[in-house]
Amino acid sequence: MNLYFLAKTLHIISMTAWMAGMFYLPRLFAYHADAAVGSDLSEQFKIMERRLLRVIINPAMILTFVFGGWLLAQTDFGRPLHWFDAKFALVLVLAGLHGFFARTRKKLARDERPRSARFYKIINEMVTLVFMAIVVLVVFKPF
| String of DSSP letters for 78-124 | TS--HHHHHHHHHHHHHHHHHHHHHHHHHHHHTT---S-HHHHHHHH
The answer on pLDDT for 1 being more than 70 is: no
Q: Average pLDDT in the 60-85 region? A: 88
The answer on pLDDT for 10 being more than 90 is: yes
Q: Average pLDDT in the 110-129 region? A: 97
Confidence of residue 16 (pLDDT cuts 50, 70, 90): very high
The structural domain count of the chain equals: 1
DSSP code of 57?
A: I
Say if CB 106 and CB 35 are below 8 A apart: no
Q: Average pLDDT in the 37-66 region? A: 98
pLDDT of residue 79: 72
User: What is the per-residue pLDDT across 128-139, written as a single tens digit (0 to 9) for each?
Assistant: 999 999 999 999
The answer on pLDDT for 78 being more than 80 is: no
User: What is the per-residue pLDDT across 92-116, written as a single tens digit (0 to 9) for each?
Assistant: 999 999 999 999 999 999 999 999 9
pLDDT of residue 138: 94
Query: What is the extent of the structural domain holding 118?
Result: 3-140
Q: Is 31 helix (H, G, I), strand (E, B) or coil?
A: helix
Q: What percent of the chain has pLDDT over 90?
A: 91
Full-model pTM: 0.94
